[in-house]
Structure 1
Amino acid sequence: MVSWSDLTNDLLQDITSFLPFSDHYRFGAVCENWRLVLKQRCCPPAPQLPWLVLEEEGQTKKRKFYSLSDAKHYFIEIPELHGRYICGSSYGWLFAVDIKITSILVNPFTRECYELPPFPAFSKNVDVTTLIEKVPSDYMGGPRDYTFEEMQVGIVWKAILSHDPKERSDFTAMILFGQKNSPAFWRPGDSSWTVVDGPDCRMEDVVCFKGNFYVISAMNELYVVNFEPVPKLIEIGPPIGKVGRPRQTYLMDFDGYMLLIERFCLPTEHELSFTIRFNVIEPNLEEDRLYEWFGIDDCAVFLGRNSSILVESSHLPMCRKNSIYFTHLTEDSVDEFGCCDLGVFNMTEHTINRFYSTEVFPPLVGSPVWLTPNPR
């Protein structure tokens, strides 16, 4: 009878392809040979639900994660994330900003890391790459002092990647930054971010779709990023969407279809708002037409500061099909409340339910971020 520790590497590799990500750690703890197989693995883990990236655990500074698949918290030591705010995720990589307004791109589970250049200046008068104590009255909505913690939460609205850096070394990182969420990009080897020229209006979201970056404005105007000869936004057709101002709009690649997802909220007391519904629209760029989607079948999407994630619920019994999972909008965080608007919207019943307790997020940490663990 063969000992477990003597199983061949090929067989062990096959076994790891059936394991959810949380079991990869347990697998690697069996013995040195199994741990080596994990480091050399070429197969991705079994299909899984995204994890929520939460705040640091107070005393140990370990990063707190929540796995929807097994409804458990995991506290993982990731020194690269100590004291950093998460402003985006893509392909299992996190964009993280520290109190000195410097940033990194890191895979939290392999610890691979890219040091990113200083962010572009918010304006001609404000350079957030330096340590400043006061900001001008036209910055972030009013004349008052801002702490470093508040500034690091507000500097980048969203950050995404064109490709997984493990699969392509010529990837592009795109951010929406500053008071109006202006787009800027960086590629490995660049010494600075390049700001994309565009209209003087607030941008809401960005997506990489079929090799191009698209940006949606607060007025639902859709733009494509043209990199050559001078990076700029080019508008595509008239504004899209329904009558009525959504609280937030998202763009996503839904298995080869570009979707615009509108999030509507109801204002309440204490300067908070709560999500009440979503609209899903397909802007067909070739036909110059809009198609409203009334469902997404056996799929679920995960929206937030991350690249929007698509999951087929048929592979994952814990996933609620035909549903939209969403996280809190960061700018609604206020001193005593923290993050409170998280839920899952059922597109069949038009109902919203909770998937997680909402009393645990401290203020100024920002919004939890969805992450698809990428152990490669």
Structure 2
Amino acid sequence: MAAWSDLTNDLLLHIITFLPLSDHYRFGAVCKNWRSVSKLRQHLPTPELPWLVLEEESETRRRKFYSLSEAKHHSIDIPKLHGCCICGSSHGWLFAVDIKITGILVNPFTQECYELPPFPAFSKDVDVTTLIEKEKVPSGSTGLRDYTLEEMQTIMVSKAILSHDPKERSDFMVMILFGDRNAPAIWRPGDALWTVIEGPKYVIMDDIIYFKENFYVLSALNVLYVVDFNPKPKLIEVGPQIKIEGCFWQPWQRYLVDFNGNLLLIERFCQRLDKELFMTSAINVAELNLEENCLCERFDISDFALFLGRNSSIFVNSSHFPMCKKNSIYFTESYFPFKFGCRDVGVFDMTDRTINTFYPVVFPPCVGSPIWLVPNP
């Protein structure tokens, strides 16, 4: 029998198309020849469900991940993410804020990294440089709205998205919602500073999306904006007027989602369990038609499943994954993970409007909440 290392590349390339990501890396560790085959991008691992990015292990500092397809945990050592709060996921890249309140963009599987410039001021009352200096005092008190560095890591950026995969296009852009009002800002490779996008004053923004070659921003006042880059970035109101008819309770969070070329508005409602803990109680879905300037409620997403949170929107065809529930929304998010951990995770069935669990363990208190990630090796 021939040695395994002597198998032809054609045969190895055929084998690797059946392997999930975790086995893809084990395949590449067998020998030099197998490793060279595993790095060929035209033969990537078989598609799988999004991974859940979890907390950092306290002893090893390795980042924990949960593969929904395998129902298995994995630990990966990613030095650039040590001590970081992950607050965005897009095209398989993670956006994180480190202990110096500086942003980085990391691909956790290739460990490629972009170091980003300092953020604009969190607010007129909080200067990050002063905050870091005061944190060196043994008492740990900042004196500025009582924010600690750990809390600032979590709240500095509420969401971050990419226009394109940096491995596919060098002219990609990063867009964030930052500061106490979730103001939008843009960064391009080569920029020395973030460019804050001009918009209505004193308006808090809820979500952002890159949709059909444009950035869109949704405000907490139910107004949709598109970013106009000429001559400098500013927000212009577009789309239908969004109203909540006959509903006393306001959504806890809204999301913009690209569903097969259709723009969806997702409204997530929560109920209060105690003073500071909220749990998702219902999710509503509507389709925004920008051409006809109308909004239409949707009661199903067919055979698809949506993965919702601080990540860019992710849809998968559940018929390709037997373990995935169709016509469902998998959600995870927490605004106080450093205090309570993240308990608000589950799967919302749009057919019977019930909520069940997909991960039975309560996430411990940590810097950054669990977030969905599409593997992009």
Give the TM-score taking structure 1 as reference length.
0.93
Q: 1:220 to 1:132 in 2, by over 3 A?
A: farther
What CA distance in whole angstroms lies between the structure 1 residues aligned with 2:13 and 2:172? 28
Q: Is this contact kept in 1: 2:239–2:289, CA < 8 A?
A: no
What CA distance in whole angstroms lies between the structure 2 residues aligned with 1:211 and 1:127? 34
Alpha-carbon deviations, 1:250-305, whole Å to 9, x = none?
00111100111000111121311110111111110001111111100110010111
- From 288, 303, 306, the equivalent of 1:301 is 306
User: Could you list the runs of 4 or more consecutive aligned residues of structure 1 that deviate by over 6 angstroms after TM superposition?
Assistant: none
RMSD across aligned positions (CA): 1.7
Shift of 1:233: 0.5
Q: 1:266 to 1:372 in 2, by over 3 A?
A: same
Of 76-85 and 234-243, the range deviating more from structure 2: 234-243
Shift of 1:334: 6.3
Shift of 1:18: 2.3
1:16 aligns with 16
Secondary structure of 1:42's counterpart equals helix
Question: In structure 2, what residue type is equivalent to 1:217?
Answer: S
* Structure 1 position 133 matched with structure 2 position 134: yes
Question: In structure 1, what residue type is equivalent to 2:347?
Answer: V
Kindly tell me the number of residue pairs found equivalent between the two proteins. 365
1:137 aligns with none
* Structure 1 position 346 matched with structure 2 position 349: yes
* Structure 1 position 6 matched with structure 2 position 6: yes
Q: 1:287 to 1:129 in 2, by over 3 A?
A: farther
Shift of 1:20: 1.4
Q: Is this contact kept in 2: 1:261–1:281, CA < 8 A?
A: yes
Q: Is this contact kept in 1: 2:51–2:68, CA < 8 A?
A: yes
Shift of 1:143: 6.7
Shift of 1:133: 3.1
Shift of 1:317: 1.1
Shift of 1:29: 2.4
* Structure 1 position 361 matched with structure 2 position 336: no
Shift of 1:44: 2.8
* Structure 1 position 277 matched with structure 2 position 264: no
Secondary structure of 1:95's counterpart equals strand
Percent sequence identity over matched residues?
66
Shift of 1:238: 4.7
Shift of 1:36: 1.8
Shift of 1:32: 2.1
Q: Is this contact kept in 2: 1:237–1:288, CA < 8 A?
A: yes
Alpha-carbon deviations, 1:109-136, whole Å to 9, x = none?
10111111111112345332552438xx
Alpha-carbon deviations, 1:294-352, whole Å to 9, x = none?
100110010111101111111111111100000023x24463x3111000000001100
1:371 aligns with 373
Q: Is this contact kept in 2: 1:102–1:129, CA < 8 A?
A: no
Secondary structure of 1:151's counterpart equals helix
What CA distance in whole angstroms lies between the structure 1 residues aligned with 2:225 and 2:173? 18
Q: Is this contact kept in 1: 2:240–2:294, CA < 8 A?
A: no
Q: 1:348 to 1:29 in 2, by over 3 A?
A: same
Q: 1:71 to 1:188 in 2, by over 3 A?
A: same
Unaligned runs of 5+ in 1: 135-141
2:140 aligns with none
Give the TM-score taking structure 2 as reference length.
0.93
Q: Is this contact kept in 1: 2:217–2:225, CA < 8 A?
A: yes
Secondary structure of 2:121's counterpart equals coil
What CA distance in whole angstroms lies between the structure 2 residues aligned with 1:117 and 1:143? 23
Secondary structure of 2:43's counterpart equals coil
Q: Is this contact kept in 2: 1:295–1:348, CA < 8 A?
A: yes
What CA distance in whole angstroms lies between the structure 1 residues aligned with 2:129 and 2:68? 37
